Structure 1
């Protein structure tokens, strides 16, 4: 038996092969080709989309975009490696018509079209929406750190700079004392020229650090990064590194990335509403339900989400079973049109009136209108603590003259029936002879309240039952913990990050600056979405949709 033999290297063919014959009908390259051809690059914001009438011809931006999408699709991000692939890769022969652009031309295209590349990512999201791939029922929001083009040694803050300046002053003093010692002892370890050169070098370094410190103080920043000024030194799983904090919103049904944001915030706190609002606009929906981990625990941010048509399922960090908010009651007549509306102003009006908007029905959000009702009291215990009306323990916080002030933030934050209309926690003052402080409760408590002893008059220095500044009504907003949805979060968010970082090799960035980092990650997330869409519906159906 003989081996199967290939074509001889020196054999000529009379009729050259067609490049398209080497690319199968189900090859993902055809999706990249059809997708880029379907885009209007002028509308997307690309430059040089209209060729000039004179001068040397330039490369078509569509060809360079196809090259980059193909590169990120196949784990090739370097412009030099892409240039090499153009000379030997049969699939790139098909995509580019055997063009071989220089690596500088390839790199400049990504740099010059940073803003437009995010629009390309969103264009593919729109395509997947037209195919019905996004279910839009629940989206998982999470953040991950991507290494920036900046070493830890080129990162400074005020503390580091002050230590370096102090150390330089000490070294200069040592050199000067060394010179004095050598003059007296006539033993020259270092020549005067060497000492002067060392002092001059230290002085130059001191001036440089003083300039850095001045720049920090004048700019109001806490960090100064020399290579990539927009990145920040952040804490990650393997220590402190210079990174960008990248936020993604992943659809539950399809596991496709719907939106992403590149930030230089050290933590995820305060980013939930921003990312959710942007995702709503991209998916063209009026309300959205999101799930996030404990890192997004920000009471103000979560409340802003509720007031703007976003259902936030954030894992509880400080509370136990639900998150409670006290909202000022605003009397208003809520019509069906307003209750069924998804406009932020109508949602806020309904909640302030104690009415649950229709868009929040069957979710973790509840609204209750509470009125002042039954009487109870705070009771001073023998061990120096105070029991509140619903049985929670308050501890001593401070002294005010002869009176002792008691309070507990945790107890008030989790209390479903507060005795105050304040948004902050309750503090109660006990005089030297005070044993009980009466108070009027809000709502209908489900637990047994502390009984008020007979013939106990209100203490004028504490709580009085006829105070006029207490609102007769208040609104309590409840966000209950949905454990099943919170458990789904990790399965949704971690997979895209893990795939992009370690399978695509994009755990570190190649470009500097937030805008260029956004473009680079847009290509990575586009490649992830494209692979997932091909697995879901196939090459032919995607091409037909374009």
Structure 2
């Protein structure tokens, strides 16, 4: 370490008088050097041109507990041929060999968890991301191959997502007693301008027909007068274009009339303009059912409905079927379903009760005309089930009258009082309008189920406080943490496959957070070994039995483990490779 030399006493260095005392002037010397810095101002790394001795194996760059290892172990465990992935059988074909569907599935699972959804960006990750290089063994599929995998395997992606939910149930991560249902809008691969309503199409068709009539009139004037013909700027091509556009509008209107839809999109045939609580989206309404134990998405559905009415029973039934899939006995406890008031319909509440499903849905308090006018509401009239009549606040009875009315598929029975009694009632001013003679009340055929539902909701106010945290958490994670808010494909089939991949990635991330990477890898390896042993056993049995059956397919019973349904898997072995220079 450098140090300053010790300075000598001033009197030992003085040989001449100082300039102040009349001595000679001091000789000019070099400028004093600044003190050496005690630390660097910035961190410095090696130059990009500096040769380095990097590890010879990409596996050394991937930590032992990195989620990418769990992705590899999980996909290696799956029977992709049984799930329906294309080229999963490994058959030889003409031309270049196909990419293994397992490799592309690994790429998508990794990309969706790392907020990389575009096929072009996934292609770039294959060339610069060491984790992806390790995952794909250095393969570099182009963006077209990556995009085609997502487009052509929509049904298989849905099957893989279902398989993972069953795996979560096998691990004991799903309680199956209480679930939450919620819906959220996702943008589609279409703009708002591409979606037309019936009213817009009719207006555009009328404008086109008016232009066509004007062009035809101009052409007729040109035929009658030479001067008008020179002034006419209408060409036959322009007229043909207008007629073609008008014909397309007529065909679109015919399609709306045939399908009963109210909108049609030129870009995505199934996307719709949706609006709810001030939110306007051109896309889809995604419904999800979330289990309350670990907030795993049990099932989901993609619709283009503008609201959640009518979605309660289908989603609850899908959840129950998922919980009963492969089970030999019914669930010990009924399934409780939590939803917001947007799902409430009397028919859905009654349908849940008939299916053994316990719904918890707030009942919207609708204000009738009488209540808005300050008169007695229908809730203040008490129904007597034994006598099948209503009792008014004044103590008089309202009896059934006439035939039931049907409104929105629900039958309503009419109850009304006697006019002579109402005219002399002291509560007439509070019950009837000035010109009214009697009071009438409509009773739904599902009124009893709704009354029981009201009592259940009043007895468990704490249940609804769990709904928001249970249902809205997954959608918040998908949109904010995973960065997903719009679909990249078009049409119900492809969109549903892409949504299955999104849900698959969300559940996979949740499971790794719950179990840990090492425990999940150990489970996948053990399950893969078991399935590999089972496949070997069935193969041996097939070879032994084929001479006796004398057929190509030794399994007489369809739907067993025959052909593509035979389990086949190999235990996961980490792959180490040296990347090409």
Give the whole-Å Cα distance in 1 for the aligned partners of 2:312 and 2:388. 39
Residue by residue over 1:9-39, the C-alpha shift from the partner in whole angstroms, topping out at 9 and shown as x without a partner, is 46365x9522111111111111111111111
Q: Is 2:117 the counterpart of 1:74?
A: no
Q: Is 2:96 the counterpart of 1:49?
A: no
| Paired position in structure 1 for 2:73 | 34
> Could you say what secondary structure the match of 1:505 adopts?
coil
- 8 Å CA contact 1:51–1:57 kept in 2: the answer is no
Give the whole-Å Cα distance in 2 for the aligned partners of 1:21 and 1:476. 63
For residues 430 and 123 of structure 1, do their structure 2 counterparts lie closer, same or farther at Cα, with a shift above 3 Å needed? Answer: same
1:101 to 114, 121, 141: 141
For residues 388 and 491 of structure 1, do their structure 2 counterparts lie closer, same or farther at Cα, with a shift above 3 Å needed? Answer: farther
Give the whole-Å Cα distance in 2 for the aligned partners of 1:90 and 1:317. 54
For residues 54 and 373 of structure 1, do their structure 2 counterparts lie closer, same or farther at Cα, with a shift above 3 Å needed? Answer: closer
| Paired position in structure 1 for 2:363 | 316
Q: Is 2:342 the counterpart of 1:302?
A: no
1:506 to 484, 489, 514: 484
For residues 58 and 306 of structure 1, do their structure 2 counterparts lie closer, same or farther at Cα, with a shift above 3 Å needed? Answer: same
Residue by residue over 1:456-506, the C-alpha shift from the partner in whole angstroms, topping out at 9 and shown as x without a partner, is xxxxxx99xxxxxxxxxx999601213322222111222211221233222
Give the whole-Å Cα distance in 2 for the aligned partners of 1:7 and 1:134. 52
Q: Which deviates more, 140-149 or 240-249? A: 240-249
Q: Which runs of no fewer than 5 residues in structure 2 stay unpaired?
A: 1-38, 325-329, 368-383, 425-438, 441-447, 525-581
Residue by residue over 1:130-182, the C-alpha shift from the partner in whole angstroms, topping out at 9 and shown as x without a partner, is 33222333211001111112222222232111111222233345556667899
Q: Which runs of no fewer than 5 residues in structure 1 stay unpaired?
A: 321-369, 380-386, 395-399, 410-421, 438-461, 464-473
Q: Is 2:117 the counterpart of 1:117?
A: no
| Paired position in structure 2 for 1:424 | 412
Give the whole-Å Cα distance in 1 for the aligned partners of 2:49 and 2:520. 38
Q: Is 2:520 the counterpart of 1:542?
A: yes
Structure exhibiting the larger radius of gyration computed from Cα positions: 2
For residues 174 and 375 of structure 1, do their structure 2 counterparts lie closer, same or farther at Cα, with a shift above 3 Å needed? Answer: closer
Structure with greater strand percent: 1
How far is 1:288 from its partner? 1.0
| Paired position in structure 1 for 2:386 | 372
For residues 518 and 95 of structure 1, do their structure 2 counterparts lie closer, same or farther at Cα, with a shift above 3 Å needed? Answer: same
Q: How does 1:433-512 map to 2 (within 5 A)?
A: 433-435=420-422, 478-479=452-453, 480-481=456-457, 482-512=460-490
TM-score by length of 1: 0.70
- 8 Å CA contact 1:294–1:314 kept in 2: the answer is yes
Residue by residue over 1:425-477, the C-alpha shift from the partner in whole angstroms, topping out at 9 and shown as x without a partner, is 5421534x44599xxxxxxxxxxxxxxxxxxxxxxxx99xxxxxxxxxx9996
2:504 to 526, 532, 542: 526
Give the whole-Å Cα distance in 2 for the aligned partners of 1:203 and 1:371. 65
Structure with greater helix percent: 2
Q: Is 2:289 the counterpart of 1:249?
A: yes
TM-score by length of 2: 0.66
How far is 1:87 from its partner? 0.7
